[in-house]
Amino acid sequence: MVESQLQSIGIGVSLGIVGLIGYYIYDAYRQSVKPSKYMLATEKMGFIGYEKSNGQRVTMEQQQEALLRIFQLAGYFTLPNIWHDLNSIQCIKNLENVFQEISAVVKFSNADQPDPRQFNAKYMRKNLFKSNNMDLQDALDLILYIIQYAYTRQIGQERYELVSPDWIITYANEYRQAARLLRLIDREYPSLNEYDGAWIAGAARIDLVQRILDFNYQIMTRNIKIDGETLVLAGEREIWANIDGISPSIRKQLLKISQNNIDIDTISLLSSTIDDSTRINEGKSYMIHLAKSYNIKLNASQPFIQYQSKEECPLDRFPDRIYANYDVNETSKLTETLLSHDLLQTFSNNIANKICIIDTLAQEQIRPNTASTARDAAERLIKRIFIGDYGDKKTFFILLCTNNPYIERQTLTTQRHVNGVMEKYGLIEKDYQIKIEGFGCSCKQPLIIVHSELSALTAEKWKFAVNDIQKSLRLKLKRDVKTLLFQTRDKNIVVADQPKIEINRPNNFIKNWFDSYLV
């Protein structure tokens, strides 16, 4: 009898222990698989994975970890930086608790040291912003604030004027691998055989030549039909020798591509800094050629001018750039629009589609950009819809030709502003759709330009995410985007001293195991 009771007690204790262990395992599993707000925020921003042209799938997790790897490479995860950024975005409840929680994740993932091999991106992805002290808006805004350090361009500064920091040179291979997962490196292809129109994004001379040539190559080799207009989205941007010059050797290669309809990705177009003076001299020669072609009169004795300081410059010009010095009676300027006309005459002999040019005007000293040229192109398309050129058609597919690292950002920007024009005319409520699909050749830019472009892309993704939050959850935004973006935020914020924190290593072995081995 006693022996039987002891056996029953033993079985009960064993079952209790098994149940307790099961509960702890389940609780650890539940904590591990609960998505962090970093995961939710980046998913909302569109880092959701994609299928490559070869059929290979890049997963959402790979994209989200790639962004963290770039943050770590750039040194954005040091504790002083985190403390500064949390204070700077403001409106964070329980600030010191949030800082302690993020600091623990930073420490346990080895994010605050320089070696990328020691960084555990998976652990950080699964645990960053996981506490209840931060909401989804806080996570979105902090991600945007941090990545804006990558932009680094002051107002008016061009990408080619950026200087590469040591870390991006040291870890170039690691950076390129992460950027490739974020769709900033490889070629993107058109997915359809027929489109209702095609737009070629305007750019400096060498990029615009590449886009014109690549557009022609893809249209011809893939047998793509463009039913409507093909437009170059150009405008009233004044050209200058430093950015619009092309070294003679590269120009020769571009002409060869044009004459033989070659894939531009098969030829290297990178020029060394040694070629700078040659390229700038070619830019001067080209500007003289363009002025003669369009009867624009330059100063006979001094056809070029270069300013030494911002104080010397007219409102729309900047120091250290070589501009045309016009005759005192000349009212026209050498612009991206004239450049586009000239390039089409030179490089589009074999292009079957007639190409027209959008000439977007500068507004209040702000030169044309992706947004303003897209709006003008959308206005032109919608006018054709209104006069009945498309009959009862309500869904339109527009092919946007650009090149990496700009493809996704320019596609999103163009789509957002096209949507705005459609909303202006009440077309969305009438079930009209204009869908923008971007494509273009692979990245030929230095990685510092890729890094700057990543910040611009993330800002565009943030805009789509918060717009969705406003519409679906009817939430008022906590922060104005101007307080987050690099060019407009306050860079002189003084924050309180960083608090001393005590970080204890997480003692939930089972959860740590799940964090390491579960996706």
pTM of this structure:
0.90
Q: Which residue has the higher pLDDT, 103 or 363?
A: 103
471 pLDDT above the threshold of 90: no
Beta bridge partners of 485: none
pLDDT of the residue at 24:
46
Q: What span, in angstroms and rounded, lies between the C-alpha atoms of 436 and 399?
A: 6
pLDDT of the residue at 362:
85
* CB distance 164 to 446 below 8 Å: yes
Q: Which residue has the higher pLDDT, 514 or 291?
A: 291
User: Domain spans of the chain?
Assistant: 50-180+467-517, 187-442
The most confident of 192-196, 247-251, 504-508, by mean pLDDT: 192-196
Average pLDDT, the chain: 90
Handedness of CA 72, 76, 80, 86 (dihedral sign): negative
Q: What span, in angstroms and rounded, lies between the C-alpha atoms of 83 and 461?
A: 25
**If you average pLDDT over residues 355-371, what whole number do you get?**
88
408: confidence class by pLDDT, cuts 50, 70, 90: very high
Chain-centre distance of CA 316, in angstroms? 25
* Beta strand segments in 169-316, E: 194-195, 197-201, 225-226, 230-235, 304-306
